[in-house]
Amino acid sequence: MKILVCTDGSEYSQKALKQASLIAEGCNIDEVAIIHVYENKQTESPLFISSDKQAELIRLVAEELQVERKKILEDALTFFKEKNIKLRTILKEGHPSHTIVSVAAEEGFGMIFIGSRGLSGLEKVFLGSVSNAVAQEAKNCSVVIVK
């Protein structure tokens, strides 16, 4: 079986990583992939740039965000170190829930681990919108929502 573990660096995604590592360690898992999906915000695209200075600032912010995204994945790897499990990371741009479900289907993952809430403050009131959407949209694979 292949496991897809979602992370955004939040407390709940850290819990999902930990639970997935325990399952992967104790079961016959063929592969674990850790995925981080981000949406390209307007601050990262040059739609309303009126000067070279603004363009440079936007470029620097975009580079810094990319470094932070890669660090989220690198930090996630710590849960799986020393477990002798085939592991890889996936960094994708797109709508988080749609992209997660799409990657899981295309690559034949049997299980998705995701935190119950992400980084958004509004998600503290309800089950996280991304985790809820993944649970509803995922076909032919189990979804574990970790609290």
This prediction's pTM = 0.84
Instruction: Assess whether pLDDT exceeds 90 at residue 79.
Output: no
**Which of residues 88 and 40 earns the better pLDDT score?**
88
Q: What is the dotted CATH code of the domain comprising 2-146? A: 3.40.50.620
Q: Which letter, b or e, does each residue of 95-134 get, where b requires 16 or more Cβ atoms within 10 Å of its Cβ? A: ebbebbbebbeeeebebbbbbbbbeeeebeeeebebbbbb
Would you state the pLDDT for residue 71? 94
Tell me the pLDDT tens digit for each residue of 98-147. 999 999 999 999 999 999 876 555 444 445 689 999 999 999 999 999 99
pLDDT category of residue 3 using cuts at 50, 70 and 90: very high
